[in-house]
A and B are shown apart, each in its own frame.
Chain A
Amino acid sequence: DAGVIQSPRHEVTEMGQEVTLRCKPISGHDYLFWYRQTMMRGLELLIYFNNNVPIDDSGMPEDRFSAKMPNASFSTLKIQPSEPRDSAVYFCASSLGTGDPSRGYTFGSGTRLTVV
C-alpha cells in the first residue's frame, strides 16, 4: 500500500486565491482526518469523516474553510479566499475504525501552504 497520499506537497498562492488540498486515504480505512500544524497552535484537528460522512467539523476555523469526501478514496480541503494566516502544514490521516487500534493512524506527507 502506498499509504496516505496528499497533493500538492507544496503550494504557494496569493492572498485571496482559492486553494484546494487533496487526500487519498489508505484503501479500506473508514476514518479520514484533516489536521493543521503551525508553530503557534501545534497540531489541531480541523474535521474528520467516517464512511465519507463529516462527523466533527468544530475545528474548522471559519467559513472560508470547507472539506468534502465524495467517495471512500478521495477528500478535499478548500480555502476560499486564502489569507496569510492560513499558512501552515496541512496533514491528512486515515485510520481503521474497527480492529486492532495498535495498527495506528497513518498520516500523509502533508501539504505546506504558503499564502503571500
Chain B
Amino acid sequence: GENVEQHPSTLSVQEGDSAVIKCTYSDSASNYFPWYKQELGKRPQLIIDIRSNVGEKKDQRIAVTLNKTAKHFSLHITETQPEDSAVYFCAPVKAAGNKLTFGGGTRVLVKP
C-alpha cells in the first residue's frame, strides 16, 4: 500500500513569514495530490490540489509543487496569518474517487 510521510510534524512561524510542508509518497502510480486543512474540532477541508501532469499550482497565498520523479509534493503558504494555524494533511491518490491515504499531519502555528 501507499506509504505517506509528512515533514515537519510541527511548524511554528511568525505572522507574515512563509511556511513549507513536504509530503513524500511511495506509490509511483499516484496521480492526484491534494492538501487538506483541519482546524481544531472541524472536518478536513480541501485547500489545494494538483494533478500529475502539472508541476505547480497557485491559489492566492497557497501553492503546491510536485516532483513526480522524486515522489514528493509540497505545500507553500506565503504571508502567513493567524487563521492559517491548523493541521495540514497531504493525501496522494491513484485515481479520482479512490481512497485517500493521509500523511501524519503537520501542525502549523502562526504567532502574531
Contacts and interface: CB of A to CB of B under 8 A. Distances in A.
Interface of A: 30-31, 33, 42-45, 48, 50, 56, 91, 93, 95-102, 104-105, 107-110
Interface of B: 32, 34, 42-46, 49, 51, 89, 93, 96-102, 104-105
Contact of B97 (A45, A98, A107): A98
A107 B45 contact: yes
A52 B11 CA distance: 40
Given A93-B100, A102-B49, A109-B42, 9 more contacts: A31-B98, A33-B99, A42-B102, A45-B101, A98-B96, A99-B96, A105-B34, A107-B44, A108-B43
A59 to B, nearest CB: 9
Most interface-central of A44, A97, A107 (chain B CB within 10 A): A107
B49 A31 contact: no
Contacts of A43: 44, 89, 102, 105
Tell me the interface secondary structure of chain B in the complex: loop
Most interface-central of B43, B46, B98, B104 (chain A CB within 10 A): B43
Contacts of A33: 99-100
A95 B62 CA distance: 23
B57 to A, nearest CB: 9
A30 B43 contact: no
A33 B43 CA distance: 14
Given A42-B104, A98-B97, A104 B43 contact: no
Contacts of A100: 96
25 contacts: A30-B97, A42-B102, A42-B104, A42-B105, A43-B89, A45-B99, A91-B43, A93-B100, A95-B97, A97-B96, A98-B96, A98-B97, A99-B96, A101-B49, A101-B51, A102-B49, A104-B46, A105-B34, A105-B46, A107-B43, A107-B44, A107-B45, A108-B43, A109-B42, A110-B43
